Chains A and B, each alone.
Chain A
Amino acid sequence: MKTTETERATRSQGSPRGDAGVRLALNGTLLLWLVVFVVLPLGSVLANAFWTMDGAFVVKDLSLTSFSTILENPVYGKVLLRTLVNALLVAFVAVALAYPLAYLVSRESSRIRNRLVVLVLLPLWMGYLMRIFAWQILLGRQGIVNSVLMWLGVTNEPIGGLLYGPVSVWIALVQISIPFVFVPIYLSLERIPDGIIESSRDLGASPRKSFTRIVLPLSAPGIAIGFVFAFIQAFGDYVTPTLLGGSRGILIGRVIVSQFGIAYNPPLGAALGLIVLAVTVVSVVVVLRLGAREAVLE
């Protein structure tokens, strides 16, 4: 805090008028950016959520109708809960898969390390939709997975449950979020000097203790951020469940979208969106707090 104050003080000593102009331009840009990309969309959602419907028309009167609809109809709560559990599961699995990968990569020599990181991030160069379609090809009745299983003689008939169900949604969501989970975990692991791990061994820690007492707490912030990335992705995503989820196990994203389309009830969609936002914000704050505390706790 002190340094920023002194910095500001020294900075403002220079030509005051020119400085003021620059500052106005910079702050103005920031303000404009915030208004266009944050305030307007959020404000629109917020406003919509407290409006109501009269037949096929949105009535712009303050009302809690949408929220009471959500509370009265248990379907919404069920879908929200299912989405939450789904997102938590995806985030856990993604972290569980990305962590060992990140750990192994981070202990390689720097040349190999950089190549491996590029390999892990390679899927990001491919479009999001492309990857989902790829999963359709892989998991479909005539897909590669079924063909291989049949060729190996594991089954005689193609397994139908792979595609258009929760499993394919989980697989795709995990695969999509792995690079995003990998990066923060990798960065936190790579920052741990070898000397610290050696020193823990030297002071009597077994390899296991050295991992649980030193490496894990030091990489906790990375785990938390990675978890949050995967969670947000899985909680809010609507494309993957739509294309891979079939009709079973509808998730909240699809419900919200339908409120702006077929079901046409924008206030209800906005209210649900607001709840999703609130759940996300709360989870992010909780997880990041946990991660930060773990890193600091002895």
Chain B
Amino acid sequence: MSSEHHSGSLIDNASRSKDDQSGDSATGQSPAIELRGLSKKYGDLDAVRQLELSIRSGEFFTLLGPSGCGKSTTLRMVAGLEAPTEGQVYLEGKDVTATAPERRSTSTVFQDYALFPHLTVLGNVLFPLRMKRLPRSEGLDKANKILQLVGLAGLEDRRPEQLSGGQRQRVALARSLVWRPRALLLDEPLAALDFQLRREMQDMLKELQSEVGITFMLVTHDQTEAFSLSDRIGVMNDGRLEQVGTPHELYYQPRTLFVATFLGNINLIRGQVESSDNDRVVARCGPLRVAGRSVSGSIPPGTDVTIGIRPESIRQNAAHTAAINTATCRVLSTTFLGSQEVTLLEIAPGIHWRCYEERGRTTSNIKGGRTMTATWDAEDALIFTDSDDKKKLPL
């Protein structure tokens, strides 16, 4: 049995004893999780296509994407619950593609918690320690510490069915963390909780991560959750990893139209390239001329492109009448949302844009039906060619 346990602090024994390899120097440098050419097919369906990803040790990494994009399948392949059709999974530099889940140094928190209904809270938390043959007294010690950490002290003897959703979630977290895995895998762990509780749990996740200092890999479809928790995010679509970056990079420098539209709101318009100087592109969109930034370098004139501008980058009613990056438009409606005001503009027949403005105490002077001028900076107009996206968006 490779799972013999040496006594020691909570932090150091963990799963390292699981791997027969004891190359600590390699552990320090290799990425915590590395995926190489990882693919999964279900019959004819490509659930995950050729994923290349490297997650640093101690990082909070999130796979973000719509449902059915392959993010959960990817996580399950990391955990060993699903066998890849092609490619490899490396944990701390070691190829674990063929390793059974119980011999991997990862621990999963499932969406429906998957608590053992016949065991108490304590029994659930002790389970992984028993599987690792930890002496009972030592196990109890660790279990009590972790239950304290997630705020479940006093509920040790309850059964899962006697707990609320948030408490079950905490048990699942405690159970996964108690044996000190090298990486915690979270599969939409907060999806089943209501808004308030989700917020609390998000805060707790973040705290826990800094407390235990291990790698977290989260899967979610919730952009706000991804942004508030993650060091880096990988956006997935249709089995592919579209882009990996910090929340800031993804928001302001999306490389594909999918990333731009999936993260936050963006106003779109179709156009044709007039001229291009490296990534500086001027395009004509009907009556408008737009100068913007290409996400993929120089684009030959005449190419069809999509231009995207974030609602907060649009300024209204500016005393500005240049021939470029200026639109005369009709105001359809304005909605007051407290700190923000959303204005719906008709930029051209049938093309509606949103515009966000911070509003102080001044009341809006723009009323529906009025005509106004909208302007934006060339830096904020992102230009995508159709080939940047495998999947075209309806416009």
Contacts and interface: CB of A to CB of B under 8 A. Distances in A.
Interface stretch (B41-49, B115-123, B235-243): B115-123
Q: Is the interface of A mostly helix, strand, loop or mixed?
A: helix
B118 A217 contact: yes
Contact of A295 (B100, B107, B118, B176): B118
B132 interface: yes
A204 B116 contact: no
B58 interface: no
Contacts of A206: 100, 102
A298 B119 contact: yes
A217 B108 CA distance: 23
Interface string B119-147: 11001001110011000000000000000
Interface in B166-189: 175-176, 179
Contacts of B108: 198-199, 202
B110 interface: yes
A223 B106 CA distance: 34
B81 A203 contact: no
A83 B203 CA distance: 65
Contacts of B231: none
Interface in B226-276: none
Contact of B102 (A202, A217, A218, A297): A202
A198 B81 contact: yes
A201 B123 contact: no
Given A195-B114, A296-B118, A201 B100 contact: yes
Interface string A201-217: 11111100100011001
A200 interface: yes
Contacts of B176: 203
Nearest to A196: B114
A201 B116 CA distance: 12
Contacts of A296: 118
A203, A209, A214 pick with most chain B CB within 10 angstroms: A203
B131 A205 contact: yes
A201 B110 CA distance: 13
Interface in A208-244: 209, 213-214, 217-218
A111 B308 CA distance: 47
A14 interface: no
A193, A204, A217 pick with most chain B CB within 10 angstroms: A204
Contacts of A199: 108, 110, 114-116
A200 B108 CA distance: 10
A82 B110 CA distance: 52
B202 interface: no
B279 interface: no
A296 B80 CA distance: 29
B91 to A, nearest CB: 14
Interface in B89-123: 100-102, 106-108, 110, 112, 114-120, 123
A203 B118 contact: no
Interface string B66-97: 00000000000001110000000000000000
A204 B128 contact: yes
A204 B119 CA distance: 16
A200 B117 CA distance: 12
A199 B117 CA distance: 12
B101 A202 contact: yes
A202 B127 contact: no
B120 A298 contact: yes
B3 interface: yes
Given A193-B112, A193-B114, A196-B114, A202 B107 contact: yes
B190 to A, nearest CB: 16
A201 B114 contact: no
Interface of B: 3, 79-81, 100-102, 106-108, 110, 112, 114-120, 123, 126-128, 131-132, 175-176, 179
In order of increasing CB-CB distance, the 5 nearest A-B pairs are A204-B131, A199-B114, A298-B123, A203-B128, A195-B114
15 contacts: A195-B112, A196-B114, A200-B127, A201-B101, A201-B102, A202-B80, A202-B81, A202-B107, A203-B102, A203-B131, A204-B3, A206-B100, A206-B102, A218-B117, A297-B118
Given A193-B112, A195-B110, A298-B120, 13 more contacts: A196-B115, A198-B110, A199-B116, A200-B127, A201-B101, A202-B80, A203-B107, A204-B132, A204-B179, A205-B102, A214-B118, A295-B118, A297-B118
